[in-house]
Structures are given as structure tokens and as C-alpha cells.
């Protein structure tokens, strides 16, 4: 059970790595845009996060306040990705006010996960 849980944590980390990595690639190339890969990675993070939110294969209690905040942050990221891709399609460009919070909130969720035990 514990090994299976660790495998789900690994896939959850892959979701984080792809989401943050896809965002950094665009930021480093000074392309203010959202990509399909970001949506896919967010879906991976959500699905695996929900699986990990059930108390199985654990010897400690889960921090549900932290999990709730992470879920809210993920929903905000999802909304920004949705609004971002719609505006991008309509205008051909995206406001930095939508692009930057996507990366910052992703990093915030990872920071919450590792710093707040």
C-alpha cells in the first residue's frame, strides 16, 4: 500500500514538474502564452492530488487545511488557464497579469506541500 501511495506521489510530482516546467519554458523564451501541456499537467496534479487526499497507505494524519488551500489554488490556476487560452485564441496574445500568476501559484502549491507539514 505504502509503495503504491509513493508511486501516486511520484506521478503527482510529475504533474507539478510538467506544469511548472512548461510555464518556465514559455517565460524564459519571453512568450507570454499558455499551452495545452499546462492543462494536461494540471489535470494530472488534480487527479493524483485527490487520490492522495484519501488516508490510505499512511502512518500519519493528513493536513486537510493545507489540502483544501491547495485545491482552491489549483482551481484558481485552472481558471487562469481557461481564461488565458480563450483570450489567446480571441486576441492572439495574453496579458502578463494572467500569465505570471500561473507560475507563481504553481510554485506556491509546491511550497505549501513541502514546507507546511
Choice from 45, 81, 85, 102 touching ligand HEM (CB under 6 A): 45
Taking phi over 0 as left and psi of -120 to 50 as alpha, with beta for the rest, 55 belongs to beta
Q: Is residue 23 a contact point for ligand HEM (CB under 6 A)?
A: no
Q: Which residue is nearest to ligand HEM (CB)?
A: 49
Minimum distance, C-beta of residue 57 to ligand HEM, in the bound complex (Å): 9
- List binders of ligand HEM among 73-102 (CB under 6 A): 74, 77
* Strand, coil or helix: 32: coil
- List binders of ligand HEM among 1-20 (CB under 6 A): 9, 12-13, 16, 19
Q: Is residue 50 a contact point for ligand HEM (CB under 6 A)?
A: yes
The DSSP annotation for 36-48 comes to HHHHHHHHHHHHH
Long-range contacts of 28-33 (CB under 8 A, 24+ apart): 32/93, 32/94, 32/95, 32/96, 32/99, 33/84, 33/88, 33/93, 33/94, 33/99
Residues that bind ligand HEM (CB under 6 A): 9, 12-13, 16, 19, 45-46, 49-50, 52-53, 62, 67, 70-71, 74, 77, 106, 109-110, 113-114
Amino acid at each position: 500500500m505504502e509503495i503504491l501511495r509513493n508511486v501516486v506521489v511520484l506521478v503527482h510530482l510529475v504533474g507539478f514538474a510538467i506544469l511548472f516546467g512548461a510555464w518556465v519554458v514559455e517565460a524564459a523564451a519571453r512568450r507570454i502564452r499558455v499551452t495545452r501541456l499546462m492543462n494536461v499537467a494540471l489535470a494530472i496534479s488534480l487527479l493524483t492530488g485527490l487520490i492522495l487526499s484519501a488516508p490510505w497507505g499512511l502512518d500519519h494524519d493528513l493536513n486537510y487545511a493545507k489540502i483544501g488551500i491547495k485545491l482552491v489554488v489549483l482551481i484558481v490556476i485552472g481558471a487562469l488557464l481557461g481564461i488565458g487560452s480563450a483570450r489567446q485564441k480571441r486576441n492572439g496574445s495574453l496579458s502578463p497579469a494572467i500569465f505570471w500568476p500561473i507560475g507563481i501559484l504553481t510554485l506556491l502549491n509546491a511550497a505549501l506541500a513541502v514546507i507546511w507539514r
